[in-house]
Amino acid sequence: MRFCSRTIPPALTFEKNKDRDLYEWREEVRKAFAEVIRKPEKTLSSPAIIEYEKEHEDYHEIRFQFESEPSYFVPGHYLYPKNLTHKVPVIICLQGHSPGMHISLGRFRSEEEEKDNQGDRNFALQAVERGFAALIIEQRNFGECSGPENFRRGGCHIPAMQAILLGRTTIGERALDVSRAIDIAADMPFADTDRIGIMGNSGGGTATYYASCTEDRIKALMPSCAFCTVEDSIFSISHCQCNFMPGMLKYFEMADLAVLLAPRPLVVVYGKKDNIFPEHGVLKAYEVAKEIYKKFGAEDKIRLVPGDEGHRFYEYPSWDVFREVTGW
What is the pLDDT confidence band of residue 117, given thresholds at 50, 70 and 90? low
Those residues with Cβ within 8 angstroms of residue 173's Cβ, 6 or more apart along the chain or in another chain: 39, 40, 140, 163
How large a percentage of the chain has pLDDT more than 90? 84
User: Over the stretch 229-288, which tens digit does the pLDDT of each residue have?
Assistant: 999 999 988 888 888 999 999 999 999 999 999 999 999 999 999 999 999 999 999 999
Longest dimension (CA), the chain: 57
Q: Would 303 be classed as within a structural domain?
A: yes
User: Over the stretch 134-175, which tens digit does the pLDDT of each residue have?
Assistant: 999 999 999 899 865 544 445 788 899 999 999 999 999 999
The CATH number linked to 256 is 3.40.50.1820
User: Over the stretch 48-57, which tens digit does the pLDDT of each residue have?
Assistant: 999 999 999 9
Please confirm whether the linkage preceding 263 is cis (ω < 30° from 0). yes
Q: Would 49 be classed as within a structural domain?
A: yes
Contact 269, 319 (CB under 8 A): no
Q: Would 174 be classed as within a structural domain?
A: yes
Q: Would 7 be classed as within a structural domain?
A: no
Those residues with Cβ within 8 angstroms of residue 141's Cβ, 6 or more apart along the chain or in another chain: 147, 151, 155, 156, 159, 160, 170, 242
Range(s) of the domain holding residue 133: 14-326
Q: Would 6 be classed as within a structural domain?
A: no
Residue 199 has φ and ψ, to the nearest 5°, of: -150, 160
Its pTM stands at 0.95
| Burial class of 67 by CB neighbour count within 10 A (0 to 12, 13 to 18, 19+) | middle
Q: What is the pLDDT of residue 152?
A: 47
Q: CA 172 → CA 108, 143, 225, 305, distances in Å? A: 29, 19, 19, 27
Q: Would 8 be classed as within a structural domain?
A: no
Torsion angle of C-alpha atoms 181, 139, 253, 169, degrees rounded to 10: -100
Pick from 222, 243, 242, 218: nearest CA to 233: 243
Is the Cα torsion angle 305, 307, 313, 316 positive or negative in sign? negative
Q: Domain total for the chain?
A: 1
What is the pLDDT confidence band of residue 7, given thresholds at 50, 70 and 90? low
> Rounded mean pLDDT of 184-196?
98
Q: What is the pLDDT of residue 114?
A: 75
